[in-house]
A and B are shown apart, each in its own frame.
Chain A
Amino acid sequence: MVRWLVGRVVSGAVLVVLASSTALVLTRLAPGDVTTQLGPFASRAEIERTRERFGLDRPVPVEWAVWVSRAVRLDFGTSFLYNRPVSGLLGRAAANTGLLATLSLGVATVLGVVLGLLTGSRPRGWLPALVRAASILLLSLPPLLTSLLLVFVASRTGWAPPGGMTSVGAADADWLAWAADVAWHLPVPAMALALPLAASFERLQAQALADGRDAPFLTAARARGVGPRVLLLRHAWPVSLRPLCAAYGMAVGALLSGSFVVEFVTAWPGLGRLMYEALRARDVYLVAGCAAAGAFFLALGTLLGDVLLAAVDPRAREGLDA
């Protein structure tokens, strides 16, 4: 178990280094750099000064080596776009994304699993059919459209703020009022993230439950006179969680590394939006920092998924102990 955990931590660290290094090198090699932000007709001297200031006048391998040597001390360089250290920006954005991701994941899990139990255990009937249709619709809608639709509904009805994370003046209020204000801003981005994910969980849960319906152990339990509620919740459900847990790790990783579409449209100041803005501006150190944070969360998410899988499936536990 410990060996497995150490192995996962090491592979996670390798993933972080590889992802951030690749992001840094590709951003440097791609046409255009951060100096294009100075405008089409910036003077040559200004361009050269900016390149020198951000170390872009060095060869790519040298720049990479310097960056890595600083990054191990959590100094990811300075962002051109924000004119401040990348690490500070990452911390704040990661916290915002973490909050949004946790809520979205919670909503998606509860909705997805409960509805999946409903549609998987009772394939016929109008309610399961309605849930299935809604899931397919949500899965087929692109995130941009879902986000815009929710922003549209929020702005038309006023049921929640259409964007942003806090109201003006929230920072002056006490922490309870601030937390309430953040909570008031959460529904739109959280629903934009949670609904497609819930649909995906619902489909996985329903399919897994339906696949195992005729399993011998369930037939045996039924023959022993186990009631339908216990049969479903104590026998069928734990076994059906395996595919869900496998997908969960990826979902956690993807959510924590930020959805740039949702964060961009709903003006949520998270990692996804930071990455998008960094890429647009060719802000090389911010891109690399965001990639490192994204890879870290992806590794964390897959680890969490594996732990969950081990918790629900003895076969997976055996694999870890071996």
Chain B
Amino acid sequence: MSLPIRPARLIGPLVTLLLLAGAFLYVRAGRSTVAPTGTGPVRGGQLVSSIRAEPRTFNRAVSQDQITDLLNTLTQGRLVRVNRASFELEPWLAERWESSPNGRQHTLHLRKGVTWSDGSPFTSADVLFSLRVAANPKFVLASSLTVGGEPMRGAAPDAETVVVTFAAPSGIGIRLLDQLPILPKHKLEAAFVAGTFESAWNTQVVPADVVGTGPFVLREYRPGERVVLDRNPRYWRKDAAGQPLPYLDRLVLDIVPDQNAELLRLQSGAVDLTQDALRPEDFVTVRRSEDQGALTRFELGVATDADAFWFCLKPEAKKQDRRFAFVRLPAFRQALSHAVDREAFAQNVFLGEAVPVWGPITPGNRQWFTPNLPRYPPDARRALELLKELGLEDRDGNGVVEAADGTEARFTVLVQRGIAASERGAAFLREAAATIGVALDIVPLESGVVIQRMLACDYDAVYMRVLTTSLDPAGNLDMWLSSGSAHFWNLSQRTPATEWEQRIDTLMLEQAATLDQARRRDLFNDVQRILAENLPVLYFAAPRMYAAHTPRVRGVVPSVLRPPILWNADSLSVAGGAGAAKP
């Protein structure tokens, strides 16, 4: 028995097929992207960005995830804008404002002639409606848009003026309004009154119903595929030459969940940019593409958040655990800090693209960073002295220090699984701690599990990056105050557990209510110093962030904050304009 076709007879068709395939690939590869011509903005064309997750809603007032926030930036306006590159406050839907001397009352004058994307006029009634939504504790904005624990109140003397009143003086002032999405009363009030506000702009909404004052309008959402946004022809902004913005006709957000595939699509030009900073392990690949002219790589700046390491310091959760008798003492945590060489940490964990840090405020947060904090240089001898003063020595010669009662300094550290830099950082920390006889066992877990255990204080230690919600420390009182829900080493205390937390509470409350910015800075420097002395949390390095885009993208003003490029979407354009639209 044998196959009636002899293998030799297959050679001819195979060679023909190969030749055809080769010719096809050659022709396809020969299709070059449009070469950039000139450097100025060009009207028209479409830009494709990748996003890693699905939108859950088109209403920023009911969800604060990154995609909702991005879509809000693209489709909605705000009264004032914090420029994501300079961190300066800019007039936006409000063209000017005055504040009362006590800092509690702010009169905002709305820009004239602004309309919603459906043509309805934008008035103070929309702002008042948005303030009502923000004050409703059912929705996510209520927790972040308060001053002195109370929501902002609004009044409208006329259609173009809004008076916003704070319950207490606020150091942040009207910068807080950058976080307030301005929603169309004529579209959403009925749902708000009927109690269906949460689902009013869910992902099944008819796109035309999502009206906004932002540069783009929703055209289409295809679950699992993409979100397509078209130019808002009624957008109010113009460029310096008087040309209406945005320049782009269309902005496409392709949903690409896998970061490796996302990078490949960026390299091939299938997407023009991504929403996430590059991972350190991608730098070499991207540099090669940059050398070939396929990508433009640029530095966003130093990240405003650093990876953090902390123990659970909630006394009631650890009262039976003898290890925490010494963990609770700052000297133990100082010894651990002395064990870590931060320069080597930056080199190993972030492949050299990081700067050492000694507190939660990194050099990326230019307004609030101070270099003058207590530091703990790498010094194993000093670390061992500190441990000895606490009664911790390696008595049985097993490489781990223990107390006189035999309690070993051995801890389990929870790390988020799948984040390579986090896993590398935890591994580096384990090695460093081992040099002074502190044993750290690393346990990577799904991030949901880490968060759940963290909230229940069901852990020894955690290593992860905690993202702050605001660059201004007064916007992060939930982290700084001992009663705060994000005071992560000891959440939501009834009364401050330690004397130094009490001091931080006092200083932060004063800092948040002070209008004099120099005084605010001094107060916050004191807070940072107290934290660095007591080290409830150890910080090691903040990465330098890089992003990349295809060379045809113009007008990029990088920001270390999210979204790193699309925050400025109305001023982006593509080389070739309308002629450069991709298939």
Contact = CB atoms under 8 A, between A and B. Distances in A.
B536 to A, nearest CB: 16
B261 A163 contact: yes
B194 interface: no
A248 B539 CA distance: 55
B225 interface: yes
Which 6 residue pairs spanning A and B have beta carbons closest together?
A: A269-B224, A155-B268, A32-B448, A36-B448, A41-B486, A127-B7
A31 interface: yes
A84 interface: yes
A46 interface: yes
Interface in B169-217: 199, 202-204
A267 B254 contact: yes
A43 B582 CA distance: 44
A93 interface: yes
A195 to B, nearest CB: 16
Interface string B511-536: 00000000000000000000000000
6 contacts: A31-B453, A118-B3, A128-B7, A155-B270, A228-B3, A236-B1
B494 interface: no
Interface string A261-285: 0001111111001100100111000
Interface in B1-58: 1-5, 7, 10, 24-25, 28-29, 31, 46, 48, 54, 56-57
Contact of B226 (A82, A128, A168): A168
A89 B223 contact: yes
Contacts of A31: 448-449, 452-453
B224 A232 contact: no
B228 A168 contact: yes
Contacts, number: 175
Interface string A153-195: 0111111011111111101000000000000000000000000
A243 to B, nearest CB: 18
B455 interface: yes
A41 B488 contact: yes
Contact of A162 (B56, B140, B261): B261
Contacts of A229: 4
Contact of B257 (A39, A89, A267, A282): A267
A157 B261 contact: no
A18 to B, nearest CB: 25
A265 B28 CA distance: 23
B220 interface: yes
A82 B56 contact: yes
B451 A32 contact: yes
B14 to A, nearest CB: 9
B2 A46 contact: no
A151 B143 CA distance: 43
A41 B31 contact: no
Interface residues of A, number: 72
A249 B542 CA distance: 53
A159 B30 CA distance: 11
A4 interface: no
Given A32-B452, A46-B143, A267-B258, A163 B486 contact: no
A162 B257 contact: no
A13 interface: no
Interface in B114-128: none
B1 A231 contact: yes
A212 B436 CA distance: 68
Given A49-B138, A155-B265, A40 B488 contact: yes
B27 to A, nearest CB: 9
Interface string A211-229: 0010000100010000011
B329 interface: no
Given A155-B265, A159-B24, A232-B2, 4 more contacts: A122-B3, A159-B25, A273-B257, A277-B257
Given A31-B452, A36-B451, A43 B4 contact: no
A125 interface: yes
A45 B228 CA distance: 34
Contacts of B224: 92-93, 96, 165, 267-270, 273-274
Contact of B3 (A89, A96, A232): A232
A320 interface: no
Interface in B138-152: 138, 140, 143
A164 B143 contact: no
Contact of A122 (B2, B25, B57, B455): B2
A282 B448 CA distance: 8
Interface in B538-583: 582-583
B256 interface: yes
A36 B265 CA distance: 30
Given A168-B250, A232-B1, A265 B485 contact: no
A267 B255 contact: yes
A169 B448 CA distance: 37
Contact of A36 (B10, B46, B452): B452
B112 interface: no
A126 B10 CA distance: 12
Given A40-B454, A155-B264, A168-B48, A228 B1 contact: yes
Contacts of A159: 24-25, 28
A162 B270 contact: yes
A266 B199 contact: no
A3 interface: no
Interface string A30-73: 01110011011111111001000000000000000000000000
B31 A158 contact: yes
Nearest to B487: A41
Contact of B223 (A162, A167, A269): A269
Nearest to A92: B223
B466 interface: yes
A190 to B, nearest CB: 16
B46 to A, nearest CB: 7
B527 to A, nearest CB: 19
